[in-house]
A and B are shown apart, each in its own frame.
Chain A
Amino acid sequence: AQSVTQPDIHITVSEGASLELRCNYSYGATPYLFWYVQSPGQGLQLLLKYFSGDTLVQGIKGFEAEFKRSQSSFNLRKPSVHWSDAAEYFCAVKADRGSTLGRLYFGRGTQLTVWP
């Protein structure tokens, strides 16, 4: 079965510093991978997604993520964090076939705090 692991529950960075949020997935074939952001009291917003092709994916708000099959990882990065990036971030994976088509599996989330 598919699963997603976000090893870091909480990360704190200073404004202007670089950021990397980790995501590891478990899936036998090529997965569909997503990163979502959730601001307090809000629903989830899609930052970026990977389905195939170029393993470095650009998203909104200056985020990017790199798919590494050998490491089963899809880490989210941003070169310079802004205070408005403080939020909770979720990695998700989806099966592309079989009986679980349509199901989306989320990691437990990483809470990002940004110091001024």
Chain B
Amino acid sequence: EAQVTQNPRYLITVTGKKLTVTCSQNMNHEYMSWYRQDPGLGLRQIYYSMNVEVTDKGDVPEGYKVSRKEKRNFPLILESPSPNQTSLYFCASSLSPPGRGLGVYSNQPQHFGDGTRLSIL
């Protein structure tokens, strides 16, 4: 079954304790992305990756790191979490970036994971 898997689904932790949220997709997608969702703000893109070893900042990258060493994995790293990073996080992937690609690779929708709810105390 095609899916995007995030772990953990829920985490409560304390300020300053490094944490990693993993994201894995089994669809051989090139494009992966992280979003955070906050009430009244919708989804905001944190980082995205066009392919292995290619990452770029989204709208709200401060306080986050990512890596893309393999095509299937795109972990989100909070080196020193702070309470303002309490949020609901979504990972997404698509065969090609939204709106890009040719032929069968064009217009590919993003597949979203089920979300990770982080609480930083």
A binds B: yes
CB–CB A106/B44 < 8 A: yes
CB–CB A101/B107 < 8 A: no
Number of interface residues of B (CB under 8 A): 28
Q: Which of B64-115 contact A (CB under 8 A)?
A: 90, 92, 97-100, 107, 109-110, 112-115
CB–CB A43/B40 < 8 A: no
Distance to closest chain A CB from B84 (angstroms): 18
Distance to closest chain B CB from A35 (angstroms): 11
Q: Is B43's CB within 8 Å of the partner chain A? A: yes
Question: Which residues of B line the A interface, CB within 8 A?
Answer: 4, 31, 33, 35, 40-45, 48, 50, 56, 58-59, 90, 92, 97-100, 107, 109-110, 112-115
Set B4, B43, B48, B114: member contacting A90, Cβ < 8 A: B43
Q: Which of A1-53 contact B (CB under 8 A)?
A: 6, 9, 32, 34, 41-46, 49, 51
Closest to B31 in A: A102
For the A-B complex, the count of residue pairs with Cβ-Cβ distances under 8 Å equals 67
CB–CB B99/A46 < 8 A: no
Which B residues are in CB contact (< 8 Å) with A105? Answer: 45, 59
Question: Which residues of A line the B interface, CB within 8 A?
Answer: 6, 9, 32, 34, 41-46, 49, 51, 90, 92, 94, 96, 101-109
Distance to closest chain A CB from B31 (angstroms): 7
Which A residues are in CB contact (< 8 Å) with B50? Answer: 102
Which B residues are in CB contact (< 8 Å) with A41? Answer: 114-115
CB–CB A102/B107 < 8 A: no
Can you name 27 A-B pairs with beta carbons within 8 Å?
Answer: A32-B98, A32-B99, A42-B114, A43-B113, A44-B90, A44-B110, A44-B112, A46-B110, A49-B107, A90-B43, A94-B97, A94-B98, A94-B99, A96-B99, A96-B100, A101-B97, A102-B48, A102-B50, A102-B56, A102-B98, A103-B56, A103-B58, A104-B33, A104-B45, A104-B110, A106-B44, A108-B40
